[in-house]
Amino acid sequence: MTANKYNIFTLPNGMRCIHHRTDSLVAYIGIAVNVGSRDENPDKDGLAHFVEHTIFKGTKNRSSWHISNRMETVGGELNAYTSKEETVIYTNAPAGYAERAIQLLADLVAYSNFPSHELENERDVVIEEIYSYRDSPGDLVYDEFDDLIYAGSRLGHNILGTEESVRKIQSADCRAFLDEFYVPSNIVLYCVCPDSEKAIERLALKYFGALHHPAHRPERHIPHVNKPFSTVKNQDGHQAHTIVGVRTFGRDDDRRFPLFILNNYLGGPCMNSRLNLELRERRGYVYTVDSSVALLSDAGTLLIYFGSDKSTVDKCLRIIHKELDRLAQSPLSPTVFERIKRQYASQLLVSSDQRESVAMSLGKSLLYYNEVHDISWTSERILDVSAEQLREVAEMLVSPSRLTIL
């Protein structure tokens, strides 16, 4: 898809909007907000995530019951998620309900009042979510690794917070956080639906045009790079859960394209990824092995995870290090390299059929880059990557950090 297929416009208050008109029978509409757990004050860990949970619990105009039923009664959905740097509140519904969705999203941002009695119930829900992660070492190891690799920065704490920090959060904290960060310059409205450009522009202005919080963002400090570590934590589990990973550059760096290819080649979702072949298919050491890239505005990580019997952890690590060293020492052959590039580009094409995630990607692209970086745009840059560029990125992985939860 090319940029001229999108209608990008800015409201008088500075809020950006993107609309892609489709012939789909479903409308995907949401807001992407440039705020996450790294923007919390040190004594308010978990606040961004708690606000995301409780923003649905009541506004000046609607009770929590009315909010939860507003989209669901027409067969739609209302949901949200929080990460280290972004919060997305999104809906999907049968086509024809764009106004209902946009009106509801604007009401949540402008008029959420975080009723105390609703917060008490949701507080227990969030604390149960925290406990559920602690009971799942395959999930916990990611949070613990982030705590170590980003130690000393606001990136180095769990998005959910702790039981103690969540119990301290009050209604006034939530509303103040909303007023500080959910401001027009910090929000993108995205709409992928059959409605016309004029209709979406009119609805965006009607419901979000009155949003006038002052533009202000506390400075984000680039986390310093910590020394590589090798840590083992005993949780008395049957299986060992290990992450090997390194700090990388942020999302604006052009080296992200060879990094994406490298990540997909090493431990992507396909059965022919190198580590799946070496650790699972050929040796039976693991049930799960994968790699992932998490790029932020000023930092990032590449992580390789595997779950194995405790007796095979060291064997798996030796194989992983061997693969990383091989990639760093010399470029892949032209035949292999062209194959893995085209495989990844084709996977992106297949993923474009997942309309909800594509709609979110449009919103986040405008939020972070102020332009559209869609599947076609990304695929072009993937296919332009050279084998030497991939090898140079692989050099960053020669001395990774490690965390194992036993």
DSSP string, 180-242: HHS-GGGEEEEEEESS-HHHHHHHHHHHHTT--PPP--PPPPPPPPPPP-EEEE----SSEEE
Could you give phi then psi for residue 393, rounded to 5 degrees?
A: -65, -35
Q: Tell me the percentage of the chain whose pLDDT exceeds 90.
A: 90
Token output for 273: 């990824």
Structurally, what CATH architecture does the domain formed by 3-208 represent?
2-Layer Sandwich (3.30)
**195-214: average pLDDT:** 93
Q: Is the pLDDT of residue 253 over 50?
A: yes
CATH 3.30.830.10 residue ranges in the chain?
3-208, 230-405
pLDDT digits (tens, 9 = 90+) for 131-145: 998 889 999 999 999
The CATH topology of domain 230-405 is Cytochrome Bc1 Complex; Chain A, domain 1 (3.30.830)
The number of beta carbons lying within 10 Å of the beta carbon of residue 370 is: 11
The pLDDT, as a whole number, for residue 3 is 45
The answer to whether the beta carbons of residues 370 and 291 sit under 8 Å apart is no
**Contact present, 167 and 123 (Cβ < 8 Å):** yes
Q: Helix or strand or coil: residue 73?
A: coil
What percentage of the chain has pLDDT greater than the value 70?
A: 98
Whole-angstrom distance, CA of residue 376 vs CA of residue 2: 7
pLDDT band at 237 (very low <50, low <70, confident <90, very high): confident
How high is the pLDDT of residue 34? 96
Write out pLDDT tens, residues 3-38: 468 999 999 999 999 999 999 999 999 999 999 999
Reduce the DSSP state of residue 68 to 3 states and report it: helix
| pLDDT for res 215 | 65
Residue 2's pLDDT is 40
- Tens of pLDDT, residue by residue over 130-189, are 999 888 999 999 999 999 999 999 998 999 999 999 999 999 999 999 999 999 999 999
- For residue 90, the one-letter residue type is Y
- Sort residue 69 into left (φ over 0), alpha (ψ -120 to 50) or beta: alpha
pLDDT in tens, 262-310: 999 999 998 999 999 999 999 999 999 999 999 999 999 999 999 999 9
Q: In this predicted model, what pLDDT tens digit does every residue of 90-104 receive, in sequence order?
A: 999 999 999 999 999
> So what's the pLDDT on residue 161?
95
Q: What is the pTM for the complete model shown?
A: 0.94
The region that residue 133 occupies, defined by phi over 0 for left and psi between -120 and 50 for alpha, beta otherwise, is alpha
pLDDT higher than 90, residue 348:
yes
Nearest Cα to 383, choosing from 267, 261, 274, 294? 261
b/e string for 257-266 if b means 16 or more Cβ within 10 A? bbbbbbbbbb
Predicted pLDDT at 236: 81
Mean pLDDT of the chain: 94
Tokens of 299: 């930092």
Distance CA 82, CA 96 (A): 28
pLDDT at 4: 60
